[in-house]
Structure 1
């Protein structure tokens, strides 16, 4: 079975995303996660760029990870010497080769560039390091010249050559032809590095592998210069699921890795991001949801499941919802409804959705109870008696909550990074460690300093059952508490009804 290597450059090219600068502790967290994910190479940085960059690469090397560590260097002896001092496994050297970049950046004779490339490959190999060579802007470089410089470094002992689509102008067709031609000309392994200026980075990387590329350069969430790089999750899953081409990636950690980089980079992923996005396995349309509830492959690719990438399938309620998904939510909560009642509930949900409102699981059950005349019979397992929140410049945010659970008084307290975090942790303590908050979102639904905040939370128990609810208040903290308590109450009631 064919296998390709994965070279991750999140810590180098990914950090070149405008607005991103990872401090050392973030870089270490990301490096450890990439190692857990199973990438073959981690490009830890550009040591000659700054003193901090040099120290960060050295510290990552000291972690003793299973992934090999690579450092970037220009075709400059001082850069290469600095990179060597970090004790990385591989030194990745690059030089511009396209006419436009040679004329306007390094302004060297193109024969001289080949000679220098050979000299520094030999220099790196003589010092016992692996060497990767990149002809920068390869996809705008004449193919004959590319072949010459790549053949020259191959004969000098380079371990792998990289073909960068530096400004993202390749197409899957042109990339396929280029890699195919280079593979016929070279014996050394070929790697590709694709940028996403036209949204083709993943497609170009995929095409390169189809043409024979041995390694792919990617970043987590596709972050990187300008429009970013080829996305690790997309490339890996396209190869695994569509082509049966394997990598060493432990795909069950893809979502976990994506969310870590999302949090540390501050770049929020659109919910419709393939593979790892919030909506990647979410279904609202009644037709789709009905099919998925019967057999997941009806409206999902089939060759990939949410569990494969560390995700979960979600059936979302909205104006496109169908009777089957609404009935499923009610049955899970212990309610049996006849067809006439189900029709009324469905119509009411669609009416709310038409007004632009988000419909939560709790809304479905509340609507059902009102229509069935059972709202007055609601028994809350948990009732908040009093909540006190302490916060300030020199005060660790602390929440103290007095509650009544099944008729018994209970007091809990917790600290957090902010008042909302502290409050949510205190609420979670009320019901024990088997219930956790998996999602938290907030929207202001009116303007001004007294804006009403609408908070949505999803709570999950140890059996994997989850429930979404919302709270609304001019006090963000109380809206959060209200939402969590509502979700936990219904989750507990669901558990007891089905016991």
Structure 2
């Protein structure tokens, strides 16, 4: 364990991964903007609001311009870094793109409002992250390198540590453990985060889905191990295939050394809003 007495940072994913996991990425911009100012007032480390399947869903299903979406969200939430999920060499598509296309996309995303780029490759092929991470650094934004967690005979703690060191060497500003299937168990998470905090000098973040019911317990053990930031979703848009509730983590840590400092009463207002919005979908 590495002692970490800093307030735990939270990234709320209600505007991207929460509805991608629960509502097939169908949440419309018209249902985001009315709550944007309140979200902006909370004090999240970041709000994940773009990338992943949102680009495709805007065009294919919603009749929206995804570029308009990020511009409007950034304008409505100027105090909170806007975060996107970036599929490495695939950008936001379903095949590899040339390096110059990746670079230009990063440039345009930064200009239009993206502050934090979470860059990943599903196969953990670091070659597919290199161009994107370099492009993010060149535009002065936060480059978050990602390890896509899974379980197999070859996916050992040593491998995850080696990959994280590689990401740090590539210039990543932070490393995210992306547990998209909720497979990371609490005590394995404790060991993994403890090892990473000893091996690298950049912050460690985590995204853990609630699919298996372990996400909150895993978060708590990882917090004990010194993790810097975790993803959550406001309670009315959480759990099942989504994420641990934001309010739960805030309440659990209240009064401890890792107290998030977030106002649960404000979070309750946001939860009430999305509880009504979900009825549309």
What TM-score bracket applies, with the shorter chain setting the length?
0.7 to 0.9
- Deviation of 1:196 (Å): 1.0
What TM-score do you get using the length of structure 1 for normalisation? 0.47
The change in CA–CA distance for 1:196 and 1:78 in structure 2 (over 3 A counts) is closer
Structure having the larger proportion of residues in strand: 1
- Deviation of 1:42 (Å): 0.6
**Structure 1, unpaired ranges of 5+:** 97-101, 103-109, 269-499
- The answer for the alignment partner of 1:7 in structure 2 is 11
- The answer for the alignment partner of 1:91 in structure 2 is 117
- The answer for the alignment partner of 1:235 in structure 2 is 249
- Answering whether residue 29 of structure 2 is matched by residue 29 of structure 1, we say no
- Answering whether residue 230 of structure 2 is matched by residue 216 of structure 1, we say yes
**Using the alignment, how far apart are the partners of 1:145 and 1:258 within structure 2?**
38
- Deviation of 1:195 (Å): 1.1
- The answer for the alignment partner of 2:97 in structure 1 is none
**Using the alignment, how far apart are the partners of 2:50 and 2:261 within structure 1?**
22
Question: Is the 1:94–1:134 contact (alpha carbons within 8 Å) kept by the matching residues of 2?
Answer: yes
- Deviation of 1:70 (Å): 1.1
What is the number of residues matched between the two proteins? 253
- Answering whether residue 128 of structure 2 is matched by residue 116 of structure 1, we say yes
**Using the alignment, how far apart are the partners of 2:121 and 2:90 within structure 1?**
13
- Answering whether residue 190 of structure 2 is matched by residue 176 of structure 1, we say yes
Q: Tell me, what secondary structure is at the counterpart of 1:95? A: coil
**Using the alignment, how far apart are the partners of 1:58 and 1:34 within structure 2?**
16
**Using the alignment, how far apart are the partners of 2:262 and 2:205 within structure 1?**
17
**Using the alignment, how far apart are the partners of 2:263 and 2:14 within structure 1?**
17
2:20 to 16, 38, 56: 16
- Answering whether residue 253 of structure 2 is matched by residue 249 of structure 1, we say no
2:46 to 38, 41, 47: 41
What TM-score do you get using the length of structure 2 for normalisation? 0.81
Higher relative contact order (CA 8 A, sep 6+): 2
What is the root-mean-square deviation in Å for CA atoms of aligned residues?
2.4
**Using the alignment, how far apart are the partners of 1:222 and 1:210 within structure 2?**
26
- Deviation of 1:118 (Å): 2.9
- Deviation of 1:86 (Å): 2.3
**Structure 2, unpaired ranges of 5+:** 93-101
Q: Tell me, what secondary structure is at the counterpart of 2:121? A: strand
Q: Tell me, what secondary structure is at the counterpart of 1:266? A: helix
- Deviation of 1:172 (Å): 1.4
1:206-234 deviation per Cα after TM superposition (whole angstroms, max 9, x unaligned): 11111110011111117368532111011
The change in CA–CA distance for 1:38 and 1:266 in structure 2 (over 3 A counts) is farther
The change in CA–CA distance for 1:123 and 1:19 in structure 2 (over 3 A counts) is closer
- The answer for the alignment partner of 2:80 in structure 1 is 67
Question: Is the 1:92–1:131 contact (alpha carbons within 8 Å) kept by the matching residues of 2?
Answer: yes
- Deviation of 1:144 (Å): 2.5
